[in-house]
A and B are shown apart, each in its own frame.
Chain A
Amino acid sequence: MIQFSAVAKRYPGGHEALRDLTFEVQAGEMVAITGHSGAGKSTLLKVAAGIERASAGTVVVHGQNLGALGETALAILRRRIGFVFQDHKLLFDRNAFANVALPLRIAGLTREEIGRRVRASLDKVGLLAREKAMPVALSGGEQQRLCIARAIVNRPAILIADEPTGNLDSEYARAILDLFASFNQVGVTVLVSTHDEAALGRLGCRRLALAGGALQAAPAQAAHP
């Protein structure tokens, strides 16, 4: 589903965020990317989601070589990947419903279809009652869930989350991770990054440990899969 071969990412200015990264995520798999902040987790996820382009190597997602795609094709591919941003990237000038509806409006769905899918999506994250609420009126955890609702509203086969448990207390973090696990159980390929391995806890998923932009020698496997 997601294949990295010898991927490197250098930012203008010389910072090398990723180097010689090779791994594969199978369809229906759930993988956690771990590592300290600055290890390159966010960059890896953005490259995998087609938000940033690799400087070297090949990235294949949904069977498409991202490096060979033009800007428009890449944008359209991004619609098939749900992305939960570290800083949420919610729009504060519109309510919860409109935030979740954004990807569907871009895809040009009918009003009825949008209403149905947005409510289903809000329901899955437990925010159905708050569809009219403005994002400022939502707590940090609720904003996080709103962002997740927006990421899944297009029913993507791949869901990528950048530090979804970042600022949440451990109980809330576990609930969020359980949510991702439940998406994974219905067949969605999930890629989650976290700097806090403890939060992954009992979650029995494969882990890719990142340090200095490279994979660490032996990816730690979960104790009991």
Chain B
Amino acid sequence: MRVWLRMHAHACADSLRRLFAQPLASTFSVIVLAVAISLPVLAAVALRSVGTITAGFETDPHVNVYLALDASDEDARRVGDALRAHREATSVRFVSRAQALEELKATTHLAELLASLDRNPLPHAFTVRVRTADREKLDAARAEWSRLPKVDQVVADFEWSERLSQWVRFGNRLLAMVALFLGAAVAFIVGHLIRLQVVSRREEIEVSQLIGATASDVRRPLLYQGLLEGALAGAAAIAMSWAVALWIGAELRALTPTYASEIKVLFLSIPEGVVVTAAAAALGLAGAWWAVGRQLRRFSPPR
């Protein structure tokens, strides 16, 4: 057991030494790998940042029913009763003209403008949560409601935000694909680097085998090298995309000072960073495994 641990320590130290023995080549290969890894990381950061914007919107199926401006409180009560009685409505919230005006004054900078108006331009309105997002049932309900007396407009304005969240879902799926392809690229790049290592160390490998190195003895330091390159690249990718995210975040704030409060760049958490690094290391290991196996078979061990 102790010998086994020591052999792993030897192999690990050996591959580290090799990385540092060629600092320039190692740096370049790690950067190439890091760029490949940072692309999906950045895409994930972008998607989740957009996701937070849509999370602020109501995407629950709901419909706004606006009454005509001349509708009386009595008219509103009657419409409210009709809506509440409808089979598709789960809840109905009434927003009176005065209430709507107060809300508008409180949440925007239009108070002065609104105060200058001689009468309230806003109608009575209802927000109706509906049971279904099914298009046909919804259209039927909308048609029914727009025929109620004194109803001016029936608007299902959650549609566009729903569409946005569909785009985000689509983006997530695209991200998964891109991550898959670039992950494979990382494995292949590491595999290629390891293959070069095997070729350049061919003599050492052959002599080692002659004097008693087993296949796993030969494989061990190379696998560690793949693992290390992958892990280093993963860490570098996180650092790189973090820098990019910081920069883009700053640019966004400069571009959109007034309503930027909603647009926030959400970077990976520390556990997620660890997962990305571990995944990169695993990819490096897989690439190394593949390459070493291939090359060693090609050498045809002594018989």
Contact of A106 among B206, B212, B301, B302 (CB under 8 A): B212
Given contacts A53-B303, A106-B217, A108-B3, contact A150 B10 (CB under 8 A): no
Which of B203, B207, B212, B301 has the most A CB atoms < 10 Å from its CB?
B212
| Chain B residues, Cβ within 8 Å of A72 | 214-216
Indicate whether A89 reaches chain B with its CB closer than 8 angstroms. Answer: yes
Judge if A115 is at the interface, Cβ distance under 8 Å.
no
Q: Are B6 and A110 in contact (CB under 8 A)?
A: yes
Residues from chain B with Cβ under 8 Å of A105 in the complex: 10
Q: How far is the CA of A53 from the CA of B7 in the complex (A)?
A: 28
* Interchain CB contact under 8 A, A71 and B4: no
B214 touches A150 (CB 8 A): no
Which stretch (A74-82, A201-209, A216-224) binds chain B? Answer: A74-82
Please tell me the size bucket of the interface on A: 20 to 34
A107 to B211, CA, bound (A): 10
Type the 1/0 row for A85-117, where 1 means its CB is closer than 8 Å to any CB of B: 100010101000000001101111110000000
> Are A75 and B207 neighbours in the complex by a CB distance under 8 Å?
no
In the complex, B32 has a CB within 8 A of chain A: no
Interface string of A136-162 (1 = CB under 8 A from B): 000000000000001000000000000
Find residues 188-245 in chain B having any chain A CB closer than 8 Å to their own CB. Answer: 203-204, 206-217
Known: A91-B203, A105-B10, A108-B3. A83 touches B302 (CB 8 A): no
Question: How many Å from the CB of A37 to the closest CB on chain B?
Answer: 21
Question: Is the Cβ of B4 less than 8 Å from the Cβ of A75?
Answer: no
| Closest chain B CB from A36 CB (angstroms) | 25
> A75 contacts which chain B residues (CB < 8 A)?
209, 212-215, 217
Could you say which interface size class chain B belongs to? Answer: 20 to 34
B95 to chain A, nearest CB (A): 78
Q: Tell me the complex Cα distance, A76–B3, Å.
A: 14
- CB-CB nearest in chain A for B207: A89
How far is it, in angstroms, between the C-alpha of A93 and the C-alpha of B200 when the chains are bound? 11
Please indicate the chain B residues that have their CB under 8 angstroms from the CB of A53 in the complex.
Answer: 303
Q: Does residue A52 face the partner (Cβ distance < 8 Å to B)? A: yes
Q: How far is the CA of A78 from the CA of B213 in the complex (A)?
A: 8
Chain A residues with CB below 8 A from B3, complex form: 107-108
B208 engages A102 (CB within 8 Å): yes
Whole-angstrom distance from the CB of B32 to the nearest CB of chain A? 26
From B6, B210, B214, A71 is in contact (CB under 8 Å) with: B214
B210 CB contact (under 8 Å) in A77, A83, A110: A83
* Residue A51 CB within 8 A of the other chain: yes
| B303, A102: Cβ atoms closer than 8 Å | no
Q: Which residues of A contact B6 (CB under 8 A)?
A: 108-110
Q: How distant is the Cα of A71 from the Cα of B216 in the complex, in angstroms?
A: 11
Q: Is A79 in contact with B303, judged by CB distance below 8 angstroms?
A: no
Known: A75-B213, A75-B214, A91-B207. 17 other contacts (CB 8 A): A52-B302, A71-B301, A75-B209, A75-B212, A76-B212, A78-B210, A83-B210, A85-B210, A91-B204, A93-B204, A102-B207, A102-B208, A105-B10, A106-B217, A107-B212, A108-B3, A108-B10
CB pairs A–B below 8 angstroms (11 shown): A51-B302, A71-B215, A72-B214, A72-B215, A75-B214, A76-B214, A89-B206, A89-B207, A102-B211, A108-B7, A110-B6
